[in-house]
Amino acid sequence: MGSLPRLSSAHEVPAPWRIPGGTTRHDASGVVMSFNQVADETGTKAAQARRAGAQPGNALDVAARSFRFLITGPSPLAVDGRKLGHGLPPRQIDLGELLSLLLDRTATDALKDAAWVELIARARTGDPAWVIGCVGVAMPGLKNIAARLIRSSPTRFADDIVSELLTEFVAQLARIDTTRPNISARLMLWARKGALRALGWEARHLPRDPWELSSAPHVNKDTDPVLLLLDAVRREIITPAAASLIIATRLDAASVRDIAREQGISSDRLYRQRREAESRLVAAIRNGTLFASSPC
């Protein structure tokens, strides 16, 4: 496989950007995404980062530092607000500002999808800086997923959870269907699925709630609940947001009240959303329209 394109001086990536066991992923269009190759592209910026006092950490820590490096200075990674529209300022918007705008409670789903369509298109050019840009914009969600999984897992799995989470997220930048809505939420679902590889098959099935998908008709006892939820999203039985809510509160033991507080909505509303989504899942399983097939 050919190496990644040489970065321009404005977008060189600081070291270290290396994930233990990182894998190379690409699709037929030639999108190449390799954490270790990105590290090999740093050149003289590696020494600069070391002199700046960059400290080692897990893969998300390294990604966060790399993202900060890429959004500072005279030529930060930026998107054109005029092109994206949806109420964005009609000027160049660096990815740090874009992240803040997307996290704002007034940000619409349409704005979020438009931003991710643009970010993924840039990443698919093969420029590692934009791959890291995507990781940086997704960082709040990735950190939340990692924190929940690490909190409920043996300490020895922590670094592997983060590495697999990030590896799967980057792999999906080449694969995710950007013509469908809720791009960010679907990326998060896949990232979590990747993180579970670090825990092994048994860890995916630890019961955390009496509601057991695997006891329903048409579902094999070895069915992975996350795969089932991904399939339900693909079939538009439930939304990615509903799947994320079920995963967080049913599988990761997160509090509905805490999530409601973070999102600035009532916990009653989230409980209702979860209950309705679970009812749709059960109905789909019982009538045979939902199986644990491989979602896209």
Q: What pLDDT score was predicted for residue 201? A: 45
pLDDT value for 247: 82
- Which of the residues in the chain have pLDDT under 70? 1-57, 201-224, 252-253, 291-296
Q: Look at residue 199 in the predicted model and tell me its pLDDT.
A: 75
Please give the pLDDT value at position 253: 66
Tokens for 129, please give them: 């800086």
| pLDDT in the model for residue 234 | 81
| CA-closest candidate to residue 95, choices 56, 69, 121 | 69
Give me the DSSP letters along 100-118: HHHHSTT--HHHHHHHHHH
**3-class SS string, 64-75:** HHHHHHHCCCCC
Q: What is the pLDDT of residue 158?
A: 86
**Cβ within 8 Å of residue 282, ≥6 positions away:** 216
Instruction: Specify the pLDDT at position 29.
Output: 36
Q: Rounded distance, CA 98 to CA 118, Å?
A: 12
Residues near 175 by Cβ (< 8 Å), separated by ≥ 6? 27
pTM of the model: 0.66
- Note the pLDDT of residue 166: 92
Measuring CA to CA, which residue among 19, 13, 18 is closest to residue 165? 19
| CA proximity to 58, closest of 127, 126, 146 | 146
